[in-house]
Structure formats: C-alpha cells, structure tokens
Amino acid sequence: MTQTRSIAEARRDLSALINEAEAGTPVHITRRGKPVAVVLSVHEYERLTRSSTSFVSAYQRWCEEFRPDALDLDAADPFDSVRDTSQPRPADL
C-alpha cells in the first residue's frame, strides 16, 4: 500500500518514512496537496534504473528474437508472423 505524506510530515517523521520505504512501501511526498517526489528503497530504485529494463534493451532483445526484417510490410497485418496466437486479439473478443 502506498503512503502519502506532506513535506512537513516527511520532515517531522523522516525516520519512519525511511523505514516504510525500506520495507518496500513507496512513500509519495506532496507539496500543497500535489505530488512532488517518491521515496523508494534502494533495492526498488536500482531495479527501476537497471539498464537491462530500458526500452532500448527490450527493443534490442525483441529484434534479436523476431528479426523485424522478416516482417512482411506489404501484408494486411505485417505482425501476423510474430504475433502470439495463443492469446485472443482484442478485435477477436
């Protein structure tokens, strides 16, 4: 469950706020009711900023697996050759 604290509350209860973040609960910090920051555990921060989770890395892995040059761009649906057919498409639902 996410916690929300004002800057004043965060300043006053910094130790408790850090304990919550360390336990895995993100703490949103607000200024005048608007979100301005999030306190996360180091573990969660590192997970989110790891380069292997970047869009570029994910796209490169996709290219290695599906070779975009193998797509038939003249077909009605060029992604038919790489689509996961075990799941229904939204139009098929």
Residue for token digits 């004002």? 6
Hey, where are the domains in the chain?
1-72
Task: Find all residues with CB under 8 Å of 53, minimum gap 6, and list them.
Answer: 47
Distances 92 to 4, 9, 64, 67, 88 between C-alpha atoms, Å: 41, 50, 29, 26, 6
pTM of the model: 0.53
Sequential pLDDT tens for the chain (93 residues)? 778 999 999 999 999 999 999 999 999 999 999 999 999 999 988 888 776 557 777 777 777 777 666 666 666 665 666 667 777 766 655
The CATH number of domain 1-72 is 1.10.1530.10: no
